[in-house]
Amino acid sequence: MTKQSRRFRGKRRGTVGIERTFIADDQVIDESEQKVLDALAKSSDKQIAEVTTLKGEILAIKQKAVDEKRALNDQEIADIESKNARIRQIVLEAVGGTEEELLYAKNEFNARAKI
């Protein structure tokens, strides 16, 4: 398992923490809370799928060069670098998003606790 995979799986587990925050208030997840959880899960699933696709494309580029018994050409190297840059961007967004999501959940919990 790669670092990126662990980070995304950690993000998905992070929604469990948010779920616990919602439940801690009244032991029930209402419709609006469920919508937040569903949106977080959907976003995470899209990011995982995109990273998986990009990694597959990188492997295909490398495999083609291996099959043809040649080094990667400049265009292939540029494509791989571009795909790796996109993967890094997705990872940064996932990590940043997790922090934002946790802050949002805490704020929601605190707002409900004051009522």
Give the C-alpha separation, 31 to 65, whole Å: 51
Q: Tell me which of 38 and 83 has the higher pLDDT.
A: 83
Report the chain's mean pLDDT, rounded to a whole number. Answer: 76
pLDDT of 46: 87
In this prediction the pTM is 0.59
When pLDDT is averaged across residues 4-31 and rounded to a whole number, the result is 54
Greatest Cα-to-Cα distance within the chain, rounded to the nearest angstrom: 68
pLDDT band at 100 (very low <50, low <70, confident <90, very high): confident
| pLDDT tens digit sequence for 45-95 | 888 899 999 999 999 999 999 999 999 999 999 999 999 999 988 887 777
86: nearest Cα among 49, 41, 31, 38: 49
Q: Which two tokens stand for residue 16?
A: 């469990």
